[in-house]
Amino acid sequence: EVQLVESGGGLVQPGGSLRLSCAASGFTFSSYDMHWVRQATGKGLEWVSAIGTAGDTYYPGSVRGRFTISRENAKNSLYLQMNSLRAGDTAVYYCARRVRGGYYMDVWGKGTTVTVPS
């Protein structure tokens, strides 16, 4: 079964750091681009970062310079290092797989919650 399981969420003070992990199973992890997408409570989806199979990385302006996406193919794992956290970063963070050759995400994890109090 194809599966993504996020972990590492929690409560962190403003200015603090947190590292999220995503464990992949049921597919050849190294062959897929991967993403992080977040959703604040009652709000919409927001793309946070992406990493290609070659390790190329992409970020929106809202997190560039504060967040770092990485992958460890030998462990079938995706990571998101989040620094200088703000109240606005409070959200459920989803790990998602990009479909090969396409421009959408076809597998999502259940998410992990990050809370940064104001």
Contact positions vs another protein (CB under 8 A): 35, 37, 44-47, 50, 58, 60-61, 94, 99, 102-106, 108-111
Pick the closer one to another protein by CB: 74 or 104: 104
- Sign (positive or negative) of CA dihedral 83, 81, 114, 100: positive
Nearer residue to another protein within complex by CB, 65 or 102: 102
Q: How far is the CB of 29 from another protein (least distance, A)?
A: 18
Rounding to the nearest 10 degrees, give the CA dihedral for residues 104, 107, 110, 115: -40
Nearest approach in angstroms of CB 54 to another protein is 14
Nearer to another protein, 96 or 116 (CB): 96
3-state secondary structure of 88: helix
Q: Least Å distance between CB 40 and another protein? A: 12
Distance between CA atoms of 28 and 99, rounded to whole angstroms?
12
Q: Which segments of the chain does DSSP mark as H helices, in order?
A: none
Query: Residue 76: how many CA atoms within 13 Å on its side-chain side?
Result: 12
Minimum distance between the CB of residue 55 and another protein, rounded to whole angstroms? 15
